[in-house]
Structures are given as structure tokens and as C-alpha cells.
Amino acid sequence: MTDIAEARRILEALVAFPTVSRDSNLALVDWAEDYLAGHGVAAHRVWNSGRSKANLWCSAGPAVAGGVVLSGHSDVVPVEGQGWATDPWRVTERGGRLYGRGTCDMKGFVALALAAVPLALKAGVRRPLQIALSIDEEIGCMGCLPMVAEIAAKAPRAAAVIVGEPSRMEVVTGHKGGLGFDTAVRGFPVHSSMMHRGVNAVMEAAKLIDWANAQNDANRSKPPGPLAAAFDPPWTTVHVGQISGGTAHNITAEHCIMGLDFRVVPGENPEDWARAWQAKVAEVEAGMRAVRPEAAITLTRSFDVPPLVPEADGRAEALARAITGDNGTHVVSYGTEAGFFQRAGFSTVICGPGDIAQAHQADEYIEMTQFEAGWHFMQTLVAELAR
């Protein structure tokens, strides 16, 4: 009989796979596929372009419309440079918490979802329980795209999608969209005493960062629109988290690389922000080329995540609220795969165990009470699908 102890066993198995986004997840996929096959459920792989990673989805129960998709990602963030007190690749229970990389974000939810499959089969669900396990969520969410498309085309059409990002089992109906650019600035190196004859890629990149600061100041000062007001912060943010360039303090930098991303509130068009960024880049690049025609700035889109927009009379929201009893209004500023499912026509919300504050941290954990609440959610969902 499937119970929370089985979910705990699955969690221990999943955490033991170090599925950092830069590496393959195929060992975990093999394990999950074998687990599902052991319960008579066929799983479907959707590969990345290099076939080094795979999304995995399945449908447990009758091949009819009206089921529920439980969506989670298989990848986790790195542990290097973090001061872990326990082995990050082993679940350690201490003080009512389960420690380990991914316990919160979000192998805890995935373990609960997989444990619900035999529960659903035993209950004789009349509508299917579907699982969607994605890749590369932690590096832009784009890895799920081919799987979402395949589920939309081939699986029995689900009535609702529950994305189990850690929300403390609160029903989250909206999140910001995300748009990222890798920005490579190519300057022209000369001795810094003659800097006017060269182009300093680092200093030109600084002009772009200054533009980002100006946009944040302007956005912060504007009154938020009705869809943005619930967010923290209630405005679109422009962020540079990494920058690298230059070879020596007395040489104008030939190269500089940085990443810039937008977290766009619903009600604003991400493409408007993309065009504004491209226009600023073109302006700076023109100034560089006036000094040295070899100078250039290259932009590459690194991710493009649609927002999750609150739905009027959404079936996913109604279902999650009925199960959890949560009637509050909740939105989040981070992006998830929920926007892709919603864009594909699925009613979608976020609802999962754990606290997002623990995600990506050293000594990441999920509280046992949250894990138990997640299991109660699965039991109640299965009962609903069996009605």
C-alpha cells in the first residue's frame, strides 16, 4: 500500500541523483521510468537536442480528458561554494526537517507525485493522473517546451495543471514573466594611457548596466498597474548578476560578458522591454564603432518565460483551493513552467510543499509538516479523480 513512507523512500532516491542543470539527468529518468513501469505505467521521454537529458511524462488511469497534470522539474542548482553541514546528496532528517539538495525545490513534490501514481491506480481513478518531469528549469525554464507541446498534442487533455513549486501549499495564481539576454561586448585593446584610441568593453558594458539601474529607478517610481499591484516588488525589474571582462588594469578591455534579465509584471509586454534593451545596445554600439569599427555588441536570448496570469474562473485554481482550503490571493515574482502550460491552453496554478526561501540555499530542507501536507493533497486529489 502506498503511503507517505513510500513517498519518503522515493525522495531519498531522487535526491541521491546529483541532477545539477549543467549535467545529465538520465540516471534519474531511468529510475523514474523503471518505477512507473513497475506499476504498469508507460512513460514517454522528450529529449533535449543533444540527447544528454530528457523530460519525462506519463498518464496513469483511463485515456480520457479531464485529468490533472502534476508538473515538477528534475534539475537542481549546484552545491559548490556552499557550507553544507550534511551530505547534500543524501536526505538527512533532523529537527522535523528533511535536508538535502532538491528536497524543497522540488524533488519533494516530484516524490509525492510519483507516490500518488499507484495510489491512483488502486483507487480506480476515472480521470487520469498525469506526471510531467522537466529539464533545465533552473537555467531558464526553456527545457520543458517540447514536453509541454507533446503533452498538449498526445496526452488526454487535462482539466488542470498543478506546478508544485514550493508555496507552502498556498495556491499561487500569478507570477512574473522572465526574459534574459547574454550580452557580449567586444572592444579594442590599447594601453590605458591612450584609452581614447581604443574601446574599453568593460566601461561600455557599464553604460548598459547604468541603463538597467535607471529603468529600475523609473519603474519603482511609477504607480503599479492593477495586475502588478499584488507583486513584491510591484514593478518590472532589470538585473545584472554576473559580469566578466578585461585582462589587466592598464589595458582597455577587449571583451566583456554579462547576463541581463527582466522580470516583467503581468500587464506589460516583455517584447517591449526586449526592444528597449536592443535599442540601448544599438546606441552604445554606435558610439563604440565611431572609435573602432571592429567593436560590437552581440545579444543572445538566454530564456523567455511567459507570465502566469490569474484566470477568471480557472479550473486549476478552483481544484487547488478545494483541496487545500486556501482562499488567499498569492502571486510570486519568480518564473516557473506554469506560464508555458497556460500559454498552451491549460488552466494552471502553482501549489506545492515547502518554502521558496529554502530553495538554492546551503542545507536546503523541507519541513516534515509540509511533506505531510503535500501527501494529504495527493490523497485528496486522487479521491477527486476517482469520483
Q: Annotated catalytic sites, by residue?
A: 75, 137
Closest CA to 310 of 226, 221, 198, 367: 226
The answer to whether 181 and 302 have CB atoms below 8 angstroms apart is yes
In whole angstroms, how large is the CA radius of gyration of the chain?
23
Return the axis-axis angle of helices 315-324 and 368-386, rounded to nearest 10°. Answer: 120
In sequence order, what E strands does 126-171 have?
Answer: 129-134, 160-163
CA atoms within 13 A on the CB side of 299: 20
What H or E segment, with its residue span, contains residue 58? strand 54-60
Which residues, at least 6 apart from 54, have a Cβ–Cβ distance to it below 8 Å? 25, 26, 29, 45, 46, 47, 48, 135
Instruction: Return the closest-CA partner of residue 305 out of 177, 181, 143, 145.
Output: 177
Burial state string for 348-370 with b = 16 or more CB within 10 A and e = fewer than 16: bbbbbbbebebbbeebbbbbbeb
Do the Cβ atoms of 279 and 285 come closer than 8 Å?
no
Where helices occur in 223-349 by DSSP H, the ranges are 270-291, 315-324, 338-343
Given a contact cutoff of 8 angstroms between Cβ atoms, the answer to whether 360 and 326 are in contact is no
In degrees, to the nearest 5, what angle opens at C-alpha 347 toward C-alphas 35 and 380? Answer: 50
